Structure 1
Amino acid sequence: MTVEGSLLSHLVELRTRLIRILGGLLIGFIPCAFYARELYTMLAQPLLEKLPQGGQMIATDVATPFFVPMKVAMMLAFVITLPHTLYQVWAFIAPGLYAHEKRLALPLVIAGSLLFFLGMSFAYFAALPLVFEFITYFAPEGVAVMTDINKYLNFVLSMFMAFGITFEVPVVVMVLVKTGFITIEKLKEIRPYVIVGSFVIAAIITPPDVISQFMLAVPLCLLYEVGIIIAAYTIKKSRQTDKSAMSDKSENDKV
């Protein structure tokens, strides 16, 4: 096969995979769109439960009551169809990977997806209720707390992204160690800097309240330690496997 033919076949394969990804998103979006209002109410529950008497959410633009729930429906469709999307990406890149890369990539993709969902869940069920309780507590007497639904959605999405990415730390540590970019000893050595950096990062990407900063920085530090433990265990197991393979080879050579 010529270079042009190979490139063309890859482009055709890429187009096919993209069409399937978009088709999956559309199929997932249609049922979510029917329940867009209920989905937004569920998403807004952490704030609605903390609003004082008379507090409510508002829409300041004409089309906002329609477009914001649709955004939520699209976001949920993306989450629901993420396994299908990842499979299409995997099916496209897998033929170009070596056997050891395939063994490493697939578990990392699965673990990364689960950790991202776990981070979003932690933000929704643990972080957001405490943040909104802290914020609404300081509302002055006589001030009705009324939040725009679009601004609330943007705020929640930013929190989801922050916590989702934070929960990817074990995967990042694992990749850095497996690729030889950094050693376990070096990771332990820079631990104090990581702790300080975690609180600095949390202060930058979270709202200006102590609760959200603390709830992002602490999991970041803990997940860093989890990443070190998993990476150390994996490296140890890999070395034992290599020694066993070398031992078997030596026995075969003697025979």
Structure 2
Amino acid sequence: MRNFLNIKKTIITGILFMLFVSSYAQLSPPGLGKGNNASWFAFGIKQALDTVHKKESTTYIGIGRKSTPDDNNPFNKMGILVLNQEFSNRYAKHWQYSYALSYRRQNEYESSAPYEVADPAIKQEFRIYGRYSYLTGNSTIKWKNTFRQEYRKFFNPDFTKSNEDYQFRTRFKTQINIDLGTQKVHHLIGSAEALFATSKKYKPTSEWTKFEYKDSRFGLYYQLTPHEIPFTFDFGYGYNLIGKGSKISGVNYIAIDVIWNNPFGKTL
């Protein structure tokens, strides 16, 4: 039975990857660990920093909730609070770089039923990351491939050292944006991403873990960008495939995000 479930997950993963190999506004949900289902809502502000909209600032706050491994309610338990600030610059026709600072406050739970709050109950994280992207496409289809490098520093609720002190994580992502119609109001967005990491452990012993594959993330979004109002709306489904081999597991995500475009005018 377990082999059948693993085969099923592998097939689903392959189909998603073949069909859709951060869109331009979509705020992807973070990983929330093991569970069955999860939910994500984010509100962001995207502001042009120059007259040709090559340089932009994106600020957002997001909240994630999740089920336990024994239920399917994606709103059951508080998962994470995210505050994120990113600056990007499309300095050439096909090339873009970004850099960002992020604060994350993630709730921790015991790994066995009834999944009570763990000790410590909160893992705090400060993250610095940079992206480098290649963009191509035409008037209807846009394709973006991104390399992202992160440095993650973890703390307990009282800002003492977490058992996992810090982590270097590397991410590779490919994504596609398809305009549905000529008015550029309705869009279909798909993405696939693989994550690799190495961590510096503080407890039980001070040591480095192997740099290895951790998980994959897949997304399918419908995006609405009405011309009458300066907002972008994203409604999506995500699938987080965690681990590998006999330890593989998956989490389904429902996600909604809203972006307010250029609230301070066409440029700052």
**Of Structure 1 and Structure 2, which has the larger fraction of its residues in strand?**
2
Greater RCO structure (CA 8 Å; 6+ sep): 1
Whichever of the two has the greater Rg, that structure is: 1
What is the TM-score with the length of structure 2 in the denominator? 0.19
What is the TM-score with the length of structure 1 in the denominator? 0.20
